[in-house]
């Protein structure tokens, strides 16, 4: 049996994204509708993405802990649990969310069309909890004016940072994702001298060069979000996006981080909100407030297709020891580079619809 194909967790960064979080309404018929969409998502993605093959449309579908229990039964990924709120100098809130759709493209209209088709297919089975339309801001900057995502791993390093291997072999090919929506007080932020802003972030604002350790405070954002374990830096893949509503004076960043273990991101958040050591918290939080927080598991694309086919979860995920011995799961497989779910036309549908 070949190893599972991952969803496009490490798809290239794009200029537009929609982050759609929904809750599944009670009722077996609603749960069945969600399981059906698991199998239909690849076809929806192909149909919308075919309108512009250079649009690099992709979609990741991920599930919260409670939804996993309802939809797929007791067997679940080892580290899947509800988002744990953090209370320190500031508060990382936990908010409802059963399913996350992370939709990316070079064009917002493609993102919007796919989101529309997904919600139309689900109908009354779900209720929208949050929807954010993100955009690329100049040269990959946040609305606070700094370049975001500089330290993202790339290529195989990104796969190694995000895709589960032998540590949870039953769910190899999957990933974890944490999302938070932050609102910025830009008026107060922009009143700070640039040099003070740079000390808070840990980088120069114009040139995006990391500050020397001799002058960078231990409370700098990039210092607190660097996690070293046994001499090795534990990396994650971020695909944060600015968003806003100028008419309402709302300016924010949608944080989304993928990792092969949620503990990496949880430790970063603990450092930010509580401090390392406690009290030495991230001063950026004096100007940026987290208003949502959710943890999801991203199953493999193979898992999604098999769920719709009615294959029990243990059969979807499990492999016997002989198969594992013949495969090197320590190097997880990269999902399709074109941003698709990477499972081909399993329903034998025509490429032109």
Q: Are 302 and 319 in contact (CB under 8 A)?
A: no
Q: How far lies 191's CA from each of 144, 186, 283, 343, in Å? A: 11, 8, 15, 50
| Segments in the chain forming alpha helices (H) | 28-49, 65-72, 108-122, 155-162, 186-191, 194-201, 221-224, 262-273, 301-308, 313-317, 321-325
| Segments in 73-192 forming alpha helices (H) | 108-122, 155-162, 186-191
Residues 6+ positions from 212 with CB-CB distance below 8 Å: none
Residue from 98, 130, 148, 282 carrying the catalytic annotation: 148
DSSP, collapsed to helix, strand or coil, labels residue 304 as helix
- Using DSSP, how many helices (H) and how many strands (E) does the chain show? 11, 14
Q: Is 148 a catalytic residue?
A: yes
- The span from the CA of 16 to the CA of 135, in Å, is 5
DSSP category for residue 260: S
DSSP, collapsed to helix, strand or coil, labels residue 74 as coil
- The span from the CA of 248 to the CA of 60, in Å, is 30
- Which of the residues are catalytic? 148
């Amino acid at each position: 049996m070949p190893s599972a194909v991952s969803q496009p967790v490490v798809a290239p960064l794009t200029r537009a994204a929609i982050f759609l979080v929904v809750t599944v309404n009670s009722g077996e018929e609603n749960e069945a509708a969600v399981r059906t969409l698991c199998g239909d998502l690849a076809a929806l993605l192909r149909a919308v993405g075919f309108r512009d093959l250079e649009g690099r449309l992709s979609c990741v579908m991920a599930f919260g802990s409670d939804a996993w229990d309802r939809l797929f039964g007791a067997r679940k990924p080892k580290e899947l649990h509800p988002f744990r709120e953090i209370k320190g100098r500031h508060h990382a809130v936990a908010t409802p969310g059963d399913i996350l759709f992370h939709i990316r493209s070079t064009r917002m209209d493609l993102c919007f069309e796919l989101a529309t088709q997904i919600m139309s297919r689900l109908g009354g089975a779900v209720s929208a909890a949050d929807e954010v339309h993100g955009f690329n801001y100049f040269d990959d900057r946040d609305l606070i004016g700094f370049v975001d995502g500089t330290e993202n791993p790339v290529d195989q390093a990104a796969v190694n940072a995000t895709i589960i291997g032998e540590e949870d072999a039953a769910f190899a090919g999957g990933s974890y994702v944490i999302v938070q929506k932050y609102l910025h007080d830009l008026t107060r932020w922009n009143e700070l001298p640039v040099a003070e802003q740079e000390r808070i972030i840990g980088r120069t604002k114009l040139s995006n060069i990391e500050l020397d350790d001799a002058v960078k405070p231990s409370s700098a954002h990039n210092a607190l979000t660097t996690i070293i374990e046994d001499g090795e830096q534990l990396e994650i893949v971020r695909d944060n996006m600015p968003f806003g509503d100028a008419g309402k004076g709302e300016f924010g960043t949608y944080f989304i981080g993928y990792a092969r273990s949620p503990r990496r991101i949880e430790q970063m958040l603990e450092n930010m909100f509580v401090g390392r050591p406690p009290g030495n918290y991230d001063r950026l939080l004096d100007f940026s407030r987290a208003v949502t927080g959710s943890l999801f598991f991203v199953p493999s694309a193979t898992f999604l297709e098999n769920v719709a086919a009615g294959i029990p979860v243990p059969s979807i995920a499990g492999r016997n020891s002989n198969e594992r011995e013949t495969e090197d799961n320590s190097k997880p497989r990269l999902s399709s580079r074109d941003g698709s779910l990477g499972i081909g036309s399993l329903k034998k549908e025509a490429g032109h619809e």
